A and B are shown apart, each in its own frame.
Chain A
Amino acid sequence: MSTSEPMIQRELQKRFTEVTPPLTNQEAFQESQRCLYCYDAPCIQACPTGIDIPTFIKKIASGNMKGSAKTIMTANPVGASCARVCPTEELCEGACVLNHSTKPILIGNLQRYATDWAIKNDQVLFKEGQPNGKSVAIVGGGPAGLSAARELALLGYSVTVYEAEKQAGGLDTYGIVSFRLPKAISLWEVEQIENLGVTIKTGVKVGVDIPFHELLATNDRVILAIGMANVPDLQIAGENAEGVYDAIELVKMTKDAPFPTHLKDKKVVVIGAGNTAIDGATCSVRLGAENVKILYRRSEQEMTAYDSEYEFAKQDGVEFRWLTQPVEIVTNKSGQVTGMKCVKMKLSEPAEDGRRRTEPIPNSEFLIECDAVVKAIGQKRHLSFIEELGIAHNDGVILINPDTMETSNPKIYACGDVIFGKGQGEAMVVSAAQQGKTAAYHMHESLKETYSA
């Protein structure tokens, strides 16, 4: 059967559109009426950015859509993205008091409904503050950096964001599959922030295109929100073979048309069992892979992907091979992947982080045939860059005062994934957004006495 390229692209476009349909007006209205409008509501406590959830829902019920969107975006500058990517069952919806009587309110979907309305109706929700004569450079235009930029712009700072990629938004723009979070949503949030007079310099890599010390010298404060880097090596033989991909790179390739077609009819194995592994696997399914398996050296209990993501992958037909440790990527003569050699593992005593250790079962080696390997075993740090900054860090995790986001250099703040790890911080987009806000407020506090306006 011959299928033309435009037809394939159209089909792929369909497969990569958002899987969760938006609430209809009637659904949103009825659901909003169901909200009890609790006082001192547990959903607010459970939201890392503290969105006044009952208020934004009450505003949907009263027909005050602009007020609803504003309530959300005031607390969370990336609230439209978070409406789609937050693990709501572990946060707001998990805390909803109706879990104890009927069913929790669909808070994420209502948040999406309200922010979608603002996007569609081209609403201006905020206005920049009176200039206070102070300037801040933000390295990294992901959720944490954007959130800090928005709050600082409202407070009257002159803010410049330096973004290495072609577009700002970070993980929300490039790192989350389109069928969960379309790029346009993240770019709308970027645009909202640019409308406040924030300068976003894209395609500029600090440390390469502009030295960091220059930012430090020409600004009152600098915020590091550089996130993390690519997936590290598996450190097994065959790593450089044709057909080995980085899950983050793979997701990024599918955020815009034209969609890649290199995985069509391929057998794919994904290494790792976090949310990025799920994204890599479900992306592969949608790109036409014949079979997709997730290989994980521990068991179902230890996997870090959210339950909802796990469920989603299973619905997509992704297979899971637990207690399976890849040991060698097998290639043919021309250097193309043909299989993954694995060993079976067994669980033993729990490690320091509470997750059980694994150890190989002797003589259990076996081969899984495959044409492509997608690596999703975490992310590297921008270690060499961080080392040059002369601030305290632990293996590339920048150390901060968690109350203020201040680093060991009082002129430098850090937030987002760059401070996540070694028991510090949280990996969620919504936590990054809150950290950005915290950095902005404390920086403002520290500069208050010196600013002119």
Chain B
Amino acid sequence: MGERGIMMADLRTNLAGITSPNPFWLASAPPTNSGYQVQRAFEAGWGGAVWKTLGDPILNVSSRYAAVHFNGQRVAGFNNIELITDRPLEVNLKEIYETKKKFPNHAVVASLMVEPNQEAWHEIVKKTEAAGVDGLELNFGCPHGMAERGMGSASGQVPELVEKQTYWAKEAAETPVIVKLTPNITDITATAEAAVRGGADAVSMINTINSLAGVDIDTWRPIPHVGGKGAHGGYCGPAVKPIALNMVSECARNSRINVPISGMGGVSNWQNAIEFMLMGASNVQICTAAMHHGFRIVEDLIDGLSTYLDERGILSVQDIIGKSVPTFSDWGNLDLNYKVVARINNDVCINCNKCHIACEDTSHQCIDMLKDPKGHAILQVREEDCVGCNLCSIVCPVDGAIDMVELKSDLPPMTWNERQSLITSLKDYKVTK
């Protein structure tokens, strides 16, 4: 700890050679549509920005976003059908140049999307780099609109196309190339590996997930609709965080994906950012939270992260990158003899009985509704029947009313994989006998 507890950890990050004053980048999206916006973001404190995807100018529709509100909290999830930039390439490049000139220490990365064609990639890479960007992010992820024209996630779902287009971009590129991947695929490591084979300097994930935000049950129209008709959009925001975090983690623990990862998907606060970095992300990209609250959220992102690091005496944010990756493995490597059980603290419990009914109807029938000697209602777990599923503690509405307690096992740790190989070796033993 620094002098009398006041210290500031070093938040500078480096993603494949692209440096920024902190790990918080704005993702390529509406917030990074113009120089005005990106410069406002940098003034607010953002470390970097990935410019809204450049390509052949397109046309957009009106009515573009929809959100999923959950039990009174707005924007649990967010859905959009907006396409890439609708501004002329020269205008974007001029503003990129001006922004980089004004903020030389911030990361300005251009997101690119063109048709799968070598010349087209060479041309846009050269033009964009001439504007002074620090790196390029190839958009193989957008699931709506552009995908129907063979770009975005349409090419991002085919490993060969990812590899080939990355290769073409790398042929022309002098700055680091990040490949942004789509989650609309069974196994994201397949396309991440393809990007690495194509020469990617980094991968970023996730782009948005195919979605239909809702249907208006009065008008029977999709939400959002464009003159009565809708089309699938891309889903993001807090709701997608677990999906994104898993994909980042899967890539981080895959030895063939040996390039840095830029993590995104539902990162809304400094705690989320730490989770992504612990699971292998070298930085994080954010969009929905900024769209919900404005660029000023970065103040708490920075403040919360530096306090977190200071409290632990960690000098640089880079020291946490990937620290949880070794703890993330296959199911077959989990200890079958590890045991936790639920314990209910009846002095804290408010007797809503939600744990009982959840366990009774949908889990393992081990929470009894009893009376204590004074006749007060209490809830009690039959530990011998409890499988340690966590459900009761998940539905419990009160902090500290249910603890999941680790029980000492009489048996040594044994994973499924160890068990299976042991069985196999015993069979072999029989045969040789």
Contact = CB atoms under 8 A, between A and B. Distances in A.
Interface of A: 24-26, 33, 37, 39, 55, 58-59, 61-64, 66-67, 70, 123-124, 126-127, 195
A37 B293 contact: yes
B307 interface: yes
B269 A62 contact: yes
Interface in B68-109: 73
B336 to A, nearest CB: 34
Given A64-B307, A66-B307, A55 B73 contact: no
Contacts of B293: 37, 58
Nearest to A25: B399
A67 B4 contact: no
A124 B6 contact: yes
A58 B4 CA distance: 26
A58 B6 contact: no
B294 A64 contact: no
Nearest to B292: A37
Contacts of B73: 33
Interface residues of B, number: 19
Contacts of A63: 269, 271, 304
Contact of A67 (B307, B398, B399): B307
B4 A62 contact: no
B167 interface: no
Given A26-B398, A62-B271, A67 B303 contact: yes
A123 B307 CA distance: 12
A66 B1 CA distance: 15
Task: Report the 6 A-B pairs with minimum CB-CB distance, sorted nearest first.
Answer: A64-B304, A67-B303, A124-B5, A62-B269, A127-B6, A66-B307
Main secondary structure on B side of the interface with A = helix
A22 B155 CA distance: 56
Nearest to B311: A66
A39 B307 contact: no
A39 B303 contact: no
B31 to A, nearest CB: 15
Interface in B261-284: 269-271
A380 to B, nearest CB: 42
A320 B296 CA distance: 50
B299 interface: yes
B304 A62 contact: yes
Given A39-B294, A123-B5, A124-B5, A64 B300 contact: yes
A67 B301 CA distance: 10
Nearest to B272: A62
6 contacts: A26-B399, A37-B293, A59-B304, A64-B307, A124-B6, A127-B6
Contacts of B300: 55, 58-59, 62, 64, 67
Contact of A62 (B3, B270, B294): B270
Interface in B392-412: 398-399
Interface of B: 3-6, 73, 269-271, 293-294, 296-297, 299-300, 303-304, 307, 398-399
A24 B270 CA distance: 23
B66 to A, nearest CB: 20
A193 to B, nearest CB: 14
Given A58-B300, A126-B6, 14 more contacts: A24-B399, A33-B73, A39-B294, A55-B296, A58-B297, A59-B304, A62-B269, A62-B304, A63-B269, A64-B304, A67-B300, A67-B307, A124-B5, A127-B3
B398 A124 contact: no
Given A26-B398, A39-B294, A62-B271, A67 B3 contact: no
Contacts of A39: 294, 296
A278 B416 CA distance: 71
A3 B244 CA distance: 67
Contacts of B398: 26
B89 to A, nearest CB: 32
Contacts of A25: 399
A79 to B, nearest CB: 17
A64 B3 contact: no
Nearest to B399: A26
Contacts of B299: 55
A433 B356 CA distance: 53
A179 B403 CA distance: 35
Contacts of A66: 307
A26 B399 CA distance: 7
Contacts of B6: 124, 126-127
Contacts of A33: 73
A98 B398 CA distance: 26
Q: Which of A37, A55, A66, A124 gathers most chain B CB within 10 Å?
A: A66
A107 B373 CA distance: 43
Contacts of B307: 64, 66-67
A124 B293 CA distance: 29
A37 B73 CA distance: 13
A127 B304 contact: no
Contacts of A59: 300, 303-304
B218 to A, nearest CB: 23
Contacts of B296: 39, 55
Residue of A39, A61, A64 with most chain B CB atoms under a 10 A cut-off: A64
Nearest to B1: A124
A127 B4 contact: yes
Contacts of A126: 6
Most buried by A among B3, B297, B307: B307
A210 B307 CA distance: 44
A62 B289 CA distance: 13
Contacts of B303: 59, 64, 67, 70
A171 to B, nearest CB: 29
A195 B6 CA distance: 13
A58 B268 CA distance: 12
Contacts of A62: 269-271, 300, 304
A26 B398 CA distance: 8
B304 A67 contact: yes
Question: Which of B4, B303, B398 has its CB near the most chain A CB atoms (within 10 A)?
Answer: B303
Contacts of B269: 61-63
A346 B120 CA distance: 91
B4 A124 contact: yes
Nearest to B302: A67
Contacts of B297: 58
Question: Which of A24, A39, A59 is the most central at the interface, judged by chain B CB atoms within 10 Å of its CB?
Answer: A59
Nearest to A71: B303
Contacts of B271: 62-63
B406 to A, nearest CB: 23
A23 B186 CA distance: 46
A195 B3 CA distance: 13
Nearest to A123: B5
Contacts of A124: 4-6
Nearest to B310: A66
A387 B269 CA distance: 57
A37 B299 CA distance: 13
A62 B398 CA distance: 19
Interface centre among B5, B6, B271, B304 (most CB of A within 10 A): B304
Nearest to B294: A39
A67 B6 CA distance: 12
A26 B400 CA distance: 10
B378 to A, nearest CB: 21
Contacts of B294: 39
